[in-house]
Amino acid sequence: MLRALIFDVDGTLADTESAHLAAFNQAFAEFGLDWQWDEALYTELLNISGGKERILHYWKTAQPELRELGAMAMADTVNRLHELKTAAYESAVNEGAVSLRPGVLALMEEAMGQGLQLAIATTTSPVNIAALLRRAVGPDWRLNFSAIGDASTAPIKKPDPQVYLQMLAALKLAPGQCLAFEDSSNGLRSATAAGLATLITPTRYTAHHDFSAALRVVPDLSQVDLAQLRRWLAQSQVAAH
């Protein structure tokens, strides 16, 4: 019996990665760094979950000689860069640079109409979630979600299942009563490690990932409704037994 839908944010609710990429580059320029990430490099960097983690990984590989700054100074710099990036991203979202992917809002509304709970399980920051959903859903967007897990509540990033395990506990539901929505292999691994059947809607940044463990892979949610999701979930549970 399907009781809840649990959504990832970046790439899943909205195709945000191009806006994130532009925001990273803006932050580097503001900080006076000559770093410039292109789409191919950023696609690779998306294998690292979390913005700060991504910056640090790039720094250590692209300019290892800068490590002599010392761990504390390095952490301060990464934090400052991430603050600048978050501000740039929020500004872009507020200007309408990002919108929800096809079918997302309709599926959420159908789920709420039928008494299902909604939750968010992401590695992004609370600020990024609020910026996106405030614009897409309205100022009371939070009321639609029974539980929200993000970078502040789940510091161990995907592919670790921490954020999904937190959401199952908050919803007080078993994995078999919920369905996860993701767009990347890290997200899929995180959700399936928590025991969740997972629907994948890839983006151009993640289309090359291995989704063999997914319940289904669909281009977006525009052709998906609750009846369809219930059928797929029931079929997978029968097959598992």
3-state class (DSSP) for residue 96: coil
3-state class (DSSP) for residue 233: helix
DSSP letter string over 145-199? -SEEE-TTT--S-TTSSHHHHHHHHHHT--GGGEEEEESSHHHHHHHHHTT-EEE
Q: Is 183 a catalytic residue?
A: no
Alpha-carbon Rg for the chain, nearest whole angstrom, is: 18
3-state class (DSSP) for residue 119: strand
Q: Is 8 a catalytic residue?
A: yes
Give dist(CA 26, CA 147) in Å, integer: 32
Amino acid identity for residue 204 in this structure: R
3-state class (DSSP) for residue 65: helix
Active-site positions read 8, 10
